Structure 1
Amino acid sequence: MVKRVVERGLHLAGIPGRRIRGRSSGTVILSYHNVVPRGESPVGDRSLHIDQARFGAHLDRLADTHDIVPLGTLVPGTAPSGRPRAAITFDDAYLGTITAGFEELARRGMPATVFVPAGLLGCEGFWWDRLASTSGGLSPSVRDHAMERLGGHQHRVLDHAVAEGRRPEALPDHARPADEPTLLRAVADSDFTLGSHTWHHVNLAGVPLDEALTEMRRGHEWLRTLENRERAVDWLAYPYGHSTPEVEAAAGAVARCAVRVEGGAAEVQGRWVAADHRLPRVNVPAGLTSDGLSLRLAGLR
């Protein structure tokens, strides 16, 4: 509560807005995951599931300070002019994203890109949501074992959990990845595009390099199969935000650009802060208020 009061006071004082406007020609790539439709409850790893009303408030706040641009139009290394820019992205292709999230974006005429783990479309839910505790979190021991010992691989993690006597939770539709036909219908004739999140959403930094390269290639091959190629962008998002210099070099042979989950602004006053295949994003957790988002975009949080 204290934090939110402070955030509100800073916003009303105009400090974040002035700081953002002072960063003319800055570029941020926002990283969201799922949007929980009105009337539904968040489940799974709660940090990833923002409610629809709060997401709409984020968009309104963002429009006050940034021009919202399609991810595919960004050209790293160039120095744009005018207001700061923002590209909105989602990881994982949750059904909530392409229903409630797309509804809020379309209402405001805003574009966005969804990074798709194509090999998991239509599955019963991601391991991190199905193994989260009832309090909405994932224990560090479960996460560490899944990421480091099992490579973040969906089927290996769930099989190991069952072998250990854990029962993966059933999830409502909005907290599962969309199936392929539903996803493609949602982006047809829209301002929404699809990028690659590899094939099986494995930890590319935790599997052999040849497996990592296969995952990246299969994800991009799926993009090339889309009937409406205008809906595909030649971008990759590293699952879990994890990569290595070797993975990033391999990504250069697959995708035009690749992004992490965190790291802040991608471009500040004409200077792109990283190479094309390790571009940062501004991570937006579900609990972040619109005032908190302003502070984060201003580099104050």
Structure 2
Amino acid sequence: MPRMPRAPPAARPAGSCGGRARVGFRRSNTWSHRGKRMLRGLIKTGAAYALRWTGTSRLTASLSGKGHAPLILGYHRVVEDVRAHLPTSIPAMLISRSMLERHLDWIGRRYRIVSLDEIGNYVESGLRFDRPVAAVTFDDGYADVYHNAFPLLRKKGIPAAVFVVSGLMGSTECFVHDKLYLLLSRRVSREADCSQVLRSLESHGLRLHEVAATRRFRRAAFDLTAMMLDSLNQEQLRRAVMALEGDCGPEPEHLADLQPLEWEMLREMQGAGMTIGSHTRTHALLTNESRPKLLLETTDSRRDLERELGVPIRHFAYPDGRFDEDAVEAVHGAGYAFAYTICRHRDPRRPLLTIPRTMLWENSCLDALGRFSSAMMGCQVDGVFGFASQCGSRHTRLGPSDPPADQDLICKAG
């Protein structure tokens, strides 16, 4: 899954606390918020056109080290209609098939799209490509990548890679982050609801109020999901999901949209030339886990994939791009040759295990009017919008390296 970026605010219910003045106040605030968003969008779009026209974005890419590095793009889910999935899916994990095709066409006109293996061979040898190259990757291994992205890639003759969670392949089990977001989106629609959810989780040994006091929950379910993913290890997240399911479980039809790939689908994709990489065994966020858990997640996943596919697995992607020294060493010990992040931070000891990617979704390259913008796409690729910002994740481990699985809280500094 992606690091939780800014996403469209969830629609608010009408509420039951009537009153003409109150309703008017809400409408005024809504229009004010929309106006601010439109203004920010116009400024960002104008800046993107100016930066691309003057060549400043390409200079920024050179200064950030992206100018000569291969471009590696990352996506998650590929669906037919993004709007149909917004009520039940994390927005920044979605891209429509038509928007993905626009991205691929834009990249194809400016880069030679190659496989991760080809990039890896060049990087290992120290050679440089004779022209800019790019690679396309998909994280998690959702079945909709097979149904919507795979036919498009095959039609265009584009090589790509998919990083899969081996323990979920061929099962009907959903990713913890998807189920958590789906459950929270049914429980919270405004900031006040978040406190009620946090109080209910206290009875299950999950004390999050101290962390919550430092957060804002403008987007309710989205922000609460992000906070819990930042703060809890996987065992705690599962306890939270079980607690929330006890109150109101997700609808089966919603879970059906979130299914992982079947092994036969994966074999077909691998046989057609797609690179298959590991994304751990259970999608544990490695910076929140103990050292023994890191070893299981990295080693067992590689063993699962090699047994089922019959090919060496050389590539690994950190779930949510999160890594620290222990995670990098676990990946190295598991025998991977290359590993991929979602930020510019590199481990100088293991640069081939901290290769940056640019993650994109449906709205990444839209202008202020909601249209695909070549200038916005160029600025995303050049890393302009993240050039001046600090990495939002930590890459050093805090506290003991081997926290017990049932500890109440792991607070992740960012």
TM-score w.r.t. the length of structure 1 is 0.83
Q: Which moved more, 1:247-256 or 1:45-54?
A: 247-256
**Which residue of structure 2 lines up, in the alignment, with residue 269 of structure 1?**
none
**Which residue of structure 1 lines up, in the alignment, with residue 9 of structure 2?**
none
- Unaligned 5+ runs, structure 1: 267-271
Match of residue 89, structure 1, among 137, 142, 146: 137
Secondary structure (helix, strand or coil) at the match of 1:110 reads coil
Q: Is the 8 A contact 1:237 1:260 kept in 2?
A: yes
Deviation digits for residues 173-194 of structure 1 (CA, Å, limit 9, x no counterpart): 4532122222223332x12121
Query: Superposition pairs for residues 140-289 of structure 1, below 5 Å?
Result: 140-151=223-234, 155-163=238-246, 165-170=247-252, 171=254, 173-188=256-271, 190-229=272-311, 233-254=313-334, 255-263=336-344, 275-289=351-365
Secondary structure (helix, strand or coil) at the match of 2:250 reads coil
The structure-2 alpha-carbon separation of the partners of 1:20 and 1:237, relative to structure 1 and needing over 3 Å to count, comes to same
Alignment of 1:2 with 2:42, yes or no, is yes
Alignment of 1:109 with 2:157, yes or no, is yes
AA paired with 1:28?
L
Q: Which moved more, 1:247-256 or 1:34-43?
A: 34-43
Q: Is the 8 A contact 1:262 1:283 kept in 2?
A: no
Q: Is the 8 A contact 2:74 2:139 kept in 1?
A: yes
AA paired with 1:89?
T
Offset of residue 210 of structure 1: 0.5
| Distance in 2, Cα, partners of 1:12 & 1:205 | 36
Q: Is the 8 A contact 2:76 2:139 kept in 1?
A: yes
| Distance in 2, Cα, partners of 1:168 & 1:58 | 33
Offset of residue 10 of structure 1: 4.5
Q: Is the 8 A contact 2:52 2:379 kept in 1?
A: no
Secondary structure (helix, strand or coil) at the match of 2:287 reads coil
AA paired with 1:297?
V
The structure-2 alpha-carbon separation of the partners of 1:240 and 1:166, relative to structure 1 and needing over 3 Å to count, comes to farther
**Which residue of structure 1 lines up, in the alignment, with residue 92 of structure 2?**
47
Q: Is the 8 A contact 1:35 1:51 kept in 2?
A: yes
| Distance in 2, Cα, partners of 1:153 & 1:120 | 19
AA paired with 2:303?
E
| Distance in 1, Cα, partners of 2:84 & 2:47 | 26
The structure-2 alpha-carbon separation of the partners of 1:30 and 1:12, relative to structure 1 and needing over 3 Å to count, comes to closer
The structure-2 alpha-carbon separation of the partners of 1:39 and 1:203, relative to structure 1 and needing over 3 Å to count, comes to closer
Alignment of 1:56 with 2:96, yes or no, is no
Q: Percent identity?
A: 22
Point out the structure with the larger strand share. Answer: 1
Secondary structure (helix, strand or coil) at the match of 1:41 reads helix
Q: Say which structure, 1 or 2, has more relative contact order (CA 8 Å, 6+ apart).
A: 1
Match of residue 99, structure 1, among 147, 153, 157: 147
- Unaligned 5+ runs, structure 2: 1-40, 190-218, 366-372, 386-414
Secondary structure (helix, strand or coil) at the match of 1:262 reads coil
AA paired with 1:143?
A
Secondary structure (helix, strand or coil) at the match of 2:316 reads strand
**Which residue of structure 1 lines up, in the alignment, with residue 34 of structure 2?**
none
| Distance in 2, Cα, partners of 1:146 & 1:299 | 25
Offset of residue 4 of structure 1: 6.8
| Distance in 2, Cα, partners of 1:10 & 1:39 | 30
Secondary structure (helix, strand or coil) at the match of 2:352 reads coil
Match of residue 79, structure 1, among 124, 127, 134: 127
**Where has structure 1 moved over 6 Å in runs of 4 or more?**
20-24, 134-137
AA paired with 2:172?
C
Alignment of 1:28 with 2:71, yes or no, is yes
TM-score w.r.t. the length of structure 2 is 0.62
The structure-2 alpha-carbon separation of the partners of 1:274 and 1:217, relative to structure 1 and needing over 3 Å to count, comes to closer
| Distance in 2, Cα, partners of 1:139 & 1:191 | 36
Over alpha carbons, which structure has the higher Rg?
2
| Distance in 1, Cα, partners of 2:267 & 2:236 | 25
Q: Is the 8 A contact 1:158 1:168 kept in 2?
A: no
Point out the structure with the larger helix share. Answer: 2
| Distance in 1, Cα, partners of 2:304 & 2:324 | 24
Deviation digits for residues 30-68 of structure 1 (CA, Å, limit 9, x no counterpart): 111111125982241011010111000000001121111
Alignment of 1:66 with 2:96, yes or no, is no
